[in-house]
Amino acid sequence: MSDLIPLLLFAVNVTAPILLVLGTGVALRRVNRIDEAFLGRATWIVFNVAMPSMLFVKMVSSPAGSGSSVRMLLVGVIGTALVCALMIAIVRVLVADVGERGVVVQGAYRANMGVVGLGYCYNAFGDAGIAAVVLYLGVVTILYNVIAVVLLNHYLHGRSDWRSALVGVLRNPLILGILAGGVVRVLDIPVPTTLLRTLDYLGQMVLPLALLCTGAALNFGALHAAPRNAVLGSLGKAILSPIIVVGLALIAGLDGMELVLVFLMVSAPTASASYVMVRAFGGNDGLASNIIVVSTLASIVFTSLGLMAFRLAGLV
């Protein structure tokens, strides 16, 4: 029993701060200190200003050799594709409503890497963890968006629209921030210290403000919407997706910090962007919201258990 306590404390130190800030966001929303107007403005600031600033700074200032390895990127891309393929086969059998199949599949593969995933990585490894997953975040986020547009168009409207997917990627502020930082780093363009420090200040808002907004946006009132399909999508996100991606990472030979970082990114709950996209495409947004809520609660539990297993194996 005494041997389990250090393992539990390590896992709690990584996941509990995320849960507590999310809970703070929920509480502030319930007492009307965060309303819909604030949530909309704050979310816009996070994803259009603070997060691109943080990703740019991490790309530019991270030490040489600290970025995502090619194997990490391949694991993220191939693992996501495998999760999608398996979930598409599962929903074909288990989800009767064709319009809800794309919602469930997106809920299972699309992790909230930019907020919760980065929070997990920071709590586990500090700035080194963030620097190591910035490129991974950018590449896999591109894939997430392309797959989401194609899936939702197919299941909800019976067509494929790659043009919309590519336009969405090119307009994504997170991708633009990473690309800009990558260009500056590769071309060795000097960045004034004043500008870099300013962007760093803006980037420091990301985790606390984004987690507060994520918590405030959780819609527990939607838990009645298609509960069976919501559980299916949530289990796909919290259990199936990490098993497939981490299994692929082990086959690819990842170990140590890289292996744990991949686990932390893929173990993040369903991204809130999935709700926005489902609503924009005219799908069952109640189901999408339900998956986000359930997967968020499940993520804390299963990520903690996974971290304990990694710690027991001496990987972290």
Q: Are 117 and 271 in contact (CB under 8 A)?
A: no
pLDDT of residue 210: 87
Residue 11: its pLDDT value, please?
87
If you search the block for the tokens 């919760």, which residue do you land on? 116
Backbone angles phi, psi at 313, to 5 degrees: -85, -5
Q: Which of 55, 241, 191 is nearest to 130 (CA)?
A: 55
Separation between Cα atoms, residue 119 and residue 299, nearest integer Å:
13
Q: What is the reported pLDDT for 102?
A: 93
Structure tokens at 294: 């359930």
Residue with tokens 């990627």: 169
Domains detected in the chain? 4-215+225-312 (1.20.1530)
Q: E strand or H helix at 2, and its extent? A: none
Instruction: State the DSSP code for 63.
Output: P
For residue 51, what pLDDT is reported? 87
Q: Which two tokens stand for residue 134?
A: 């910035």
CA-angle at 161, arms to 137 and 87, nearest 5°: 60
- pLDDT at 80 (0 to 100): 97
pLDDT of residue 61: 81
Query: For the stretch 50-65, what's the b/e string if a residue is b when 16 or more beta carbons lie within 10 angstroms of its beta carbon?
Result: bbbbbbbbbbbbbeee
pLDDT confidence of residue 159 = 62
Q: Report residue 140 as tokens.
A: 């896999």
Residues 315, 260: contact at Cβ < 8 Å? yes
Query: Measured between alpha carbons, how far is 65 from 210 in angstroms, rounded to an integer?
Result: 28
Report yes or no on whether pTM surpasses 0.75: yes
Entry field: residues in the chain:
316
| 10-residue stretch averages of pLDDT, the chain, 316 residues long | 71 90 93 90 90 88 68 95 96 93 95 93 91 89 86 76 65 84 88 93 90 85 73 95 96 92 96 83 86 92 93 79
